[in-house]
Amino acid sequence: MAKAAVVGANGYLGGELLRLLSYHPQIELTAAVSRSQAGKTVGEVAPNTERFSDLVLEAEPDGIDVDVAFLAQGAGEAMKVVPSLLERGIRVVDLGPDYRLPDPAEYARVYGREHTDPGHLAEAAYGLPELFGDSVRRARLVANPGCYPTATLLAVAPLAQAGEIAGRVVVDAKSGTSGSGAQPTSSSHHPEAALTVTPYGTPDHRHAPEMAAALARLGGTAEVPLVFVPHLVPLVRGILCSIYASPVAGVDAGRWPSLFESRYSGSKFVRVGGVPKLPWAQGTNRCYLSVQFAGGSPVVFSAIDNLGKGGAAQAIQNANVMLGLDETSGLLHPGFGV
């Protein structure tokens, strides 16, 4: 039984990690860390979890002795503790943004702070196993992708790698308010978000450079210009992307569903079929892809749970791969359905 720690256990992603790990047959939570909730038990912070309810939360991760640590923290936090964790032989899955961008100068530009651990930044694997599984398997440090990049890249990368996209790709993305984190903001606060749809993050959302960097990692013809516009919608969890891409001359986009099916034939977590519904994905590690046509032009739909495949569930998938476990272990439960 592998031992795990969750650092940042009181946020939405931390709470989802606690919930999902309570299902896991091969990973035991032996440490949970939260500065604001230190001294409380997991049962007090997350009453929906039974398995680890008596575990007491610690204030810092300094003394933890585990096989893998999940860091569910904001920008700038992970790089403070990753060097020490790696030095002690602990594998790390960082759910924050600190290790997603390979260029420290780009990180400083996007997040407004210097990267203080550029050495480990260079070795971090980008944790989208369907696209970078070999790197994740060899890694001791994984940068869990952002939620929007996960939904976008699973849809765009196969087409880009096959050289089937011409020109810009427009990503019209909509996410539930849990993607903004547990701390209310002026835009995610319920009275502001409940009865409206709000575009945000323009002209340059922080996830756009992450997507560009991931496509560049794939090499070949994978680099494509993305026009990315996210929207906040009055849902708690879930992301739906409507992606508009033109095929190169001579390519029939009618074959794109079969291209997706071939690319993800070995995946337990990517489903290709009809227009997806968010409840299919909510609570799961699955991505639902579909190719439809509007006015003769292809539209690719991608649906995930921002806290699941876009966050905590994918982090557990990455840990499974890193630890040599079955990739699906603890992650095959169904979605909500409605």
CB 320 within 8 A of CB 24: no
Would you give the distance in Å from CA 170 to the centre of its chain? Answer: 20
* 147 is an active site residue: yes
Question: Of 7, 121, 147, 240, which residue is the catalytic one?
Answer: 147
Starting at the edge strand found earlier in the chain, the sheet holding 27-33 runs: 27-33, 2-7, 68-71, 91-94, 141-143, 125-126
Whose CA is closest to 228, among 246, 247, 206? 206
CA distance 135 to 137: 5
Instruction: Give the integer Cα–Cα distance in Å for 43 and 65.
Output: 21
Which uninterrupted H or E stretch holds 6? strand 2-7
Three-state DSSP at 258 gives: helix
Quick one: tokens of 94? 């960082």
* Residue matched to tokens 């070999």: 134
- Taking phi over 0 as left and psi of -120 to 50 as alpha, with beta for the rest, 287 belongs to beta
Helix (H) or strand (E) holding 143: strand 141-143
Residues marked as catalytic:
147
